[in-house]
Structure 1
Amino acid sequence: MGTIVERKSKSGTKHRAQVIKKKEGEVVFSKSATFSRKTAANAWIKKVEKDFDAGKLTNRQIQTTVSELIDKVIDTQRKQMGKTKSQVLKTIKLFDVADFEVASLRPADLVEFANQVAEGEHGPAGRSPSTTANYMSHLSGCLNLARPAFAIPFDRRVVEEARETTSTLGITGKSKKRTRRPIPEELDALMDFFVRRESRDTRAIPMSKIVPFAIFSARRQDEITRILWDDYSQEHATILVRNMKDPGEKEGNDVVCELPPEAIRIIESMPRLTDQIFPFHKDVVGRQFTGTCRFLGIRNLRFHDLRHEAASWLVETGRTLPQAMSVTGHKIWSSLQRYSHLKKVGNRYENWAWMEVIT
């Protein structure tokens, strides 16, 4: 007998139909699909059962579910999987689509999955189109490996049609480029807070140095906490950034980046107590920054915005895009293309009073 399970969401009620056939207690056939109307689900069940009884689906082997496919991809993966991708794949297994057979997936099933992601099931409500697109991308990557890697029958056109549909409907989309930069008053407030706290507590993390170093070096918070003294060359004004974030490579992407004089000055002011220049955990640095912004009433400013500030500053002080890339570590011009419209406006950090205080 076929079964129908109703699920209500913001996009309406969905009906998941499933037909399971057993022989001597073992499942010999299983197929499922989701429909907007219950009548359509019932009609589908009748057709599948009729085809099975007529022998058209006899001896059909049990198909791999989406959840099982994800496990296969993870187990077979030889490259180190990024933290975000690993978490997304783990979360996908909580959605209805995880129990669907890969071979029976239709574009409508993937569109429904995208709707569930966007509506915030199994996570924060109201996921953005870019976040939803990220979920679709990781699921699509697994599905596209089904046939060539595991001999699981799957038509890649299902993925193509579903992604085109979700994009047309606005369920998925590209992320908007952030343009948030800290204004001088905000930086002054942050620096004053950090300097005062560090003067009272010598054990406090030197955020008064980490924040400006992030601006002058264009380094991400996890990169800052990984830099070793051995990776730094005052003579050549460079640092070796190990495993720099890159869409194509999750490890082994070591890049030598130029250091502006301001960044070198901050490094030289740090005591050599450990192998790391900034021997602190990246999450602690992030929490310190976010918590202080919240305490000071500074809204919508993220630590990563300091990297955006760095790229803007590099261009504004007269560097060409290739020269700016030698500091930021970007490999392609398009990553910095949005800064090309900036005109040289001088160095907003020239004679910055806080440099004398922290160094």
Structure 2
Amino acid sequence: MATFRKRPGPGGRTAWQAQIIRRGHERQYKTFDTKAEAEAWARQIEGGMDRGVFVSRAEAESTTLSEALERYEREVMPRKKPTTANRERDRVRSWSASSLARRSLASIRGKDVAATMRDMEGRGLSPNTIRLHLALLSHLFNTARTAWGMESLANPVEMVKGQRPKLPQDRDRRLQGDEYARLLTAAASYGGEIGPIITWAIETAMRRGEIASMRWEHLDRPARVLLVPETKNGTPRRVPLSTSALAVLDGLPQAAAGPVWTMQAASISQALMRVCKAAGITGLTFHDLRHEAASRFSEKGFGAMEVAAITGHKTMQMVKRYTHFRAEDFVGRLG
């Protein structure tokens, strides 16, 4: 049987604490404004115990989001790739600074997540940034429920699936007309490694981070293949190299081991922006060069599975997103 006792509450009011002690279960207790509320809670808990379906909410009710984020950063993030963990660390800090941080996990509901989404939109965060923040929060709640023993915990992010901001349409930016020639001319004037890197990106479809991480010891020149040991999707792959790609390497200072490039990923993007401005090219990002490369592979006659093997995509849907044909490309073949 539950027991109830009066306790001093906030503002001098009387509060009622309900306590349940039953063999085979942890002690359950909670404080309410009225005895009727305490009795109703006790009936619900004891009913669940009688039916054998009770799961304690004590830990979920006593753990704040801030505390859970600290545990997530301490226990979960070290098992992820360093690049992924670094990106997630910024999102952890963002959630830790939010109004939900001092709330218990059990008290956070779908409407709270929806309100936070609206606040993010009001601060100008992009739909994709908001999506990534929600993904981290969702993973945290799922981890707390499955690995931290908080089985009773509901995931509030799942309650707002239909309210998430719409992501922009897939980009289909490709190099047009003489843009490639203008880009290389401006890159040559800019100097440094950005020109060879642009050519390399279009010849290999490698991601910016993969290019920045290239090492000489991963090159198998006789086989004309470069190993990419760490990829975005976690699966290493071997990239076949065209004669133009090999020519890029031939133009670099040779070494038996060590980094191929001195430029870091962020510097590559910054340099491309300046080169595009000098060339009078607008709306082009470094990731668009990966789109361009994948589309060129398709135009050369490679099938979808072959393109996926080169680019490292795991699904045909992703290959479709990254291969953009132009209607003009089909005219000659239509007759």
TM-score (norm 2): 0.74
Q: Secondary structure at the match of 1:335?
A: helix
Judged with a 3 Å threshold, the aligned counterparts in structure 2 of structure 1 residues 76 and 157 are, in CA distance, closer, same or farther, namely closer
Q: Deviations over 1:214-241 (max 9, x none)?
A: 1011112221122122211222121001
Number of the residue aligned with 1:79: 79
Number of the residue aligned with 1:188: 181
CA distance in 2, matches of 1:116, 1:51: 38
Number of the residue aligned with 2:68: 69
1:312 is the counterpart of 2:295: yes
Number of the residue aligned with 2:55: none
2:150 to 149, 152, 157: 152
Give the 5 Å matches for 1:281-296: 281-296=264-279
| Residue 282 of structure 1: how far off its partner (Å) | 2.0
Number of the residue aligned with 1:140: 138
Number of the residue aligned with 1:233: 220
Number of the residue aligned with 1:355: none
CA distance in 1, matches of 2:90, 2:202: 29
CA distance in 2, matches of 1:63, 1:320: 55
CA distance in 1, matches of 2:122, 2:151: 30
For the aligned residues, what is the CA RMSD?
A: 3.0
1:258 is the counterpart of 2:240: yes
Number of the residue aligned with 1:44: none
CA distance in 2, matches of 1:290, 1:284: 10
Number of the residue aligned with 1:42: none
Number of the residue aligned with 2:92: 89
Q: Deviations over 1:237-284 (max 9, x none)?
A: 2100121111xx3xxx32112122321222222221562222322222
Q: Deviations over 1:129-154 (max 9, x none)?
A: 33322211211111122232223364
Contact 1:51/1:57 (8 A) holds in 2:
no
CA distance in 2, matches of 1:89, 1:180: 32
| Residue 108 of structure 1: how far off its partner (Å) | 1.0
Contact 1:213/1:263 (8 A) holds in 2:
yes
Q: Deviations over 1:152-175 (max 9, x none)?
A: 3643254322334x2xxxx42345
Moved more, 215-224 or 268-277: 268-277
Give the 5 Å matches for 1:202-213: 205-213=192-200
Q: Secondary structure at the match of 1:150?
A: coil
Residue identity opposite 1:265 in structure 2: A
Unaligned runs of 5+ in 1: 1-19, 23-28, 30-46, 199-204, 347-359
1:177 to 170, 174, 192: 170
1:219 is the counterpart of 2:203: no
Judged with a 3 Å threshold, the aligned counterparts in structure 2 of structure 1 residues 257 and 79 are, in CA distance, closer, same or farther, namely same
Give the 5 Å matches for 1:90-169: 90-120=93-123, 125=124, 127-152=125-150, 154-156=152-154, 158-164=156-162, 166=163
| Residue 212 of structure 1: how far off its partner (Å) | 0.9
CA distance in 1, matches of 2:35, 2:74: 35
CA distance in 1, matches of 2:219, 2:102: 51
Residue identity opposite 2:262 in structure 1: P
TM-score (norm 1): 0.69
Contact 1:216/1:310 (8 A) holds in 2:
yes
Q: Who wins on radius of gyration, i.e. which is larger? A: 2
| Residue 288 of structure 1: how far off its partner (Å) | 0.9
Contact 1:180/1:301 (8 A) holds in 2:
yes
Q: Provide the identity percentage.
A: 22
Q: Secondary structure at the match of 1:239?
A: strand
Q: Deviations over 1:161-220 (max 9, x none)?
A: 2334x2xxxx4234531111122433222211222343xxxxxx2222111111011112
